[in-house]
Structure 1
Amino acid sequence: MSRRLGLFFTLFLSTSLLAGPAAASEWRILAQFDDAPEGLVDDGEGGFYVSLFHSGHVMQVAADGTVEQIADLRTVIGEAKGSTVGIDWDGEDTLYVAFSEYSKRFPWPAEAELSVEACGDATVTRSGLYAVTLSSGKVEPVVTRADGYPFCFPDDPVVASDGSIYLSDLSLKGIWKIDPEEKSAVLWSKDPLFDPAGKSLSGYPVGVNGIALAPDESALFGVTGGIPMLVKVPIEADGSAGKAEMLTFGYDNMDGLEVDPQGNFYLTETLRSEIWKVSPDAGRREQLGEPLQAPLGAPASLAFGDDSICVTNLNFFGHLPDDKARSIACRKLGPTLW
């Protein structure tokens, strides 16, 4: 073998080892629940706040995995059937929780192709954004369809530094901006890039799912499900949405998104149950986990622990055995490719 060819194989092997999926030993189950967890955000104390998909319960998980229920959306939404999805914390005493009510006429997600039609069901009134006061556990609606807003599938809220809230809408294929003090909302962005327009590559005719702000809040990033990609929406000087641009593609149905202080992106894929890290310029990516080597089953939301990245296992497609399902899985973050 020539010296040049030998060097090539050495570099290839080194890169492959660095870029390969995390070994099973790097992942651990932090906590399990009696319902599937979906939304996830750190609690500032080494633990997390978690929303449970079917029950409407909001939980707190300590750093040692101890689980405590802190609120119940059922005190406000009653027996409405739906998905309790993304959550975010204002850093003080309020958690914001998205809830999407199912339609009896056009069920979602049983028939994905009917998800948009479900948005037009006038009997659906509970979909929207809710506030949980942490000190009391009290739940109150912020904005919902009962207020006249045409929410379709409210999905992932993100609290900005000025207190306003961005909220993705999976089936409307848009992003709302909400003033929690005024209890008002505007459709901030419905960029064509969010909409598969009948040409879904994942099999699900949905739009933007997980969203996250840039560290300097100059842009809002999102992951899409119908035509899976990572997108950037500039935030203009007047607060309006700029034209969205694609940063990277080549994934399957995408769900969760987080951005670290250095601008790296962390993405979840639900169908392939994979976790990816993408460089700030979107030129490099590293797989942090996949189901053959990690306890991952339709991972949904992500959040950073003290030295770890953690995900909720929605297990939407039944990938995980019962002893690992309905869980939060975590792995320590170590050296990276860049």
Structure 2
Amino acid sequence: MLRSAAMITVLLSSLATSASASEWRILAQFDDAPEGLVSDGEGNFYVSLYHSGHIMRVGKDGKTSQIADLRSVIGDADGSTVGLDWDRKDTLYVAFSEYSKRFPWPAEANLAVEACGDATVTKSGLYKVTISTGKVEPVVTRADGYPFCFPDDPAVGPDGKVYVSDLSLQAIWKIDPDQKSAEVWSKDPLFSPGDRSLSGYPVGVNGIALAGDGKTLFGVTGGIPMLVKVPINADGSAGKAEMLSFGYDNMDGLEVDADGNFYLTETTRSEIWKVSPDTKKRQQLGNPLQAPLGAPASIAFGNGEICVTNLNFFKHLPADKANSIACGKLTDPLW
């Protein structure tokens, strides 16, 4: 009996070790909290800074340089520069969410609905950054009459259209950058926690990502934390959303690799998870006990590593590790 117990202990220890990314390190630090993150496919990254509105490039050696400043267009608007995505050419699309002075969401979580209805908020929306010149231009914003509430994470489709999650509206927009038009693409009931929020935040879809074939959009939700799937119909409209996986805390970032595995960030517990394509298996890649993680937000891959932005929303990290990108080497999967 003692031998069996010892064997179980060894097996569990082995499983815990193999279930984590190894050799976590800080790739880069900033003077502001990083939020959005995307790889250029060559080991370098583009990053958005949450408060300042600066858009940065980070080399594979960790050196940082500023390539654009949203403040050149949004002025002194108080808000969050959130997710970004790259069109694989010369354009970054960046989401910006202006705060309401009358109803201070997200500082007060119960005022999300009121903040959405503040007509004095005009800067929330999607912005375009030309990488080669640093020029910033609005694509569509509330000033154009669209009721964006908290635009959060963009994902560029194969046809050039941009999907944008709206955290407080609990919806996903579809934006045509050429026409400078937007539509509420999906406002599926599955996104809304109603009065049943398990995380304590009355929010909907946060991070989104497209399948490799461009026929499905995936998202993670924050109010009732789960991984969801939204089919893209042949005519481009949204199908009915479906829950794929649940049992998390407040979700933020999402990425899908070439094999169809999902990578999720969990902000409250500062955890990173890998989920198999069939969603029947999950593997923890990092937690604050063994990695420099503080409210990890966006995810990107580079040089055999998974990298995340440490938004540090709940002040988990000390100053010498905060405002950072953390990267960990990916181990062999358990499946």
TM-score range, shorter chain: over 0.9
- How far apart, CA to CA, are the structure 2 residues paired with 1:44 and 1:331? 17
The aligned counterpart of 1:214 is 211
- How far apart, CA to CA, are the structure 1 residues paired with 2:94 and 2:35? 11
Residues 17 and 31 of structure 1, relative CA distance in 2, 3 Å threshold? closer
Deviation per CA, 1:158-211, whole angstroms, max 9, x where unpaired? 001110100000000000001000000110000000000011000000000000
**Per-residue deviation, 1:18:** 2.6
Deviation per CA, 1:225-265, whole angstroms, max 9, x where unpaired? 00000000011111111100100100000000000010000
Deviation per CA, 1:42-75, whole angstroms, max 9, x where unpaired? 1233110000000000000000000000000000
Asked whether the equivalents of residues 22 and 293 of structure 1 are also in contact (C-alpha less than 8 Å), the reply is no
Greater shift in the superposed pair: 79-88 or 1-10: 1-10
The aligned counterpart of 1:131 is 128
CA RMSD of aligned residues (A): 1.5
- How far apart, CA to CA, are the structure 2 residues paired with 1:92 and 1:229? 32
Of 305, 309, 314, the match for 1:312: 309
Identity of aligned residues (%): 76
SS of the equivalent of 1:172 reads coil
- How far apart, CA to CA, are the structure 1 residues paired with 2:325 and 2:103? 31
The aligned counterpart of 1:115 is 112
The aligned counterpart of 2:243 is 246
- How far apart, CA to CA, are the structure 1 residues paired with 2:228 and 2:254? 11
The aligned counterpart of 1:82 is 79
Aligned length: 335
Q: Give the TM-score normalised by structure 2.
A: 0.97
Unaligned 5+ runs, structure 1: none
Moved over 2 A (4+): 1-19
Q: Does 1:57 align with 2:54?
A: yes
The aligned counterpart of 2:295 is 298
Matches within 5 A, 1:95-106: 95-106=92-103
SS of the equivalent of 2:290 reads coil
- How far apart, CA to CA, are the structure 2 residues paired with 1:123 and 1:243? 34
Q: Does 1:69 align with 2:66?
A: yes
SS of the equivalent of 1:60 reads strand
Unaligned 5+ runs, structure 2: none
Q: Give the TM-score normalised by structure 1.
A: 0.96
The aligned counterpart of 2:272 is 275
Give the letter aligned to residue 164 of structure 2.
Answer: L
**Per-residue deviation, 1:13:** 4.9
SS of the equivalent of 2:27 reads strand
**Per-residue deviation, 1:7:** 7.3
Give the letter aligned to residue 157 of structure 1.
Answer: P
Of 261, 282, 302, the match for 1:264: 261
**Per-residue deviation, 1:10:** 6.3
